[in-house]
Amino acid sequence: RSFASQTDGEARVTRVLREKFPQASAIKVVDISGGCGAMYEIHIESEEFREKRTVQQHQMVNQALSEEIKSMHGLRIFTSTPK
């Protein structure tokens, strides 16, 4: 899928993550529920995750998306720091 065909939900989640993680070098949000917005897979690469354990990184993402998560069924989070 091209970036232009991003669903409203993907665009909304991406916008929130860009706001909350201004240092992110890469953010990818994919609706893995077939476009209904129930489940997302998120990949974020950000300097803000450096020196933090994976569980702490995921807590930061969950915190950033606290409002959006209320209407989701599930979320898969993948975090990393720039190499």
56-75 pLDDT, tens per residue? Answer: 999 999 999 999 999 999 99
Enumerate domains of the chain plus CATH numbers.
8-80 (3.30.300.90)
pTM of the model: 0.88
Query: 5 pLDDT band (50/70/90 cuts)?
Result: confident
pLDDT at position 39 over 80: yes
Please enumerate, as own/partner, the contacts of 31-38 that have beta carbons within 8 Å and a separation of 24 or more. Answer: 31/7, 32/76, 33/73, 35/7, 37/7, 37/8, 37/9, 37/71, 37/72, 38/72, 38/73, 38/74
pLDDT of residue 36: 86
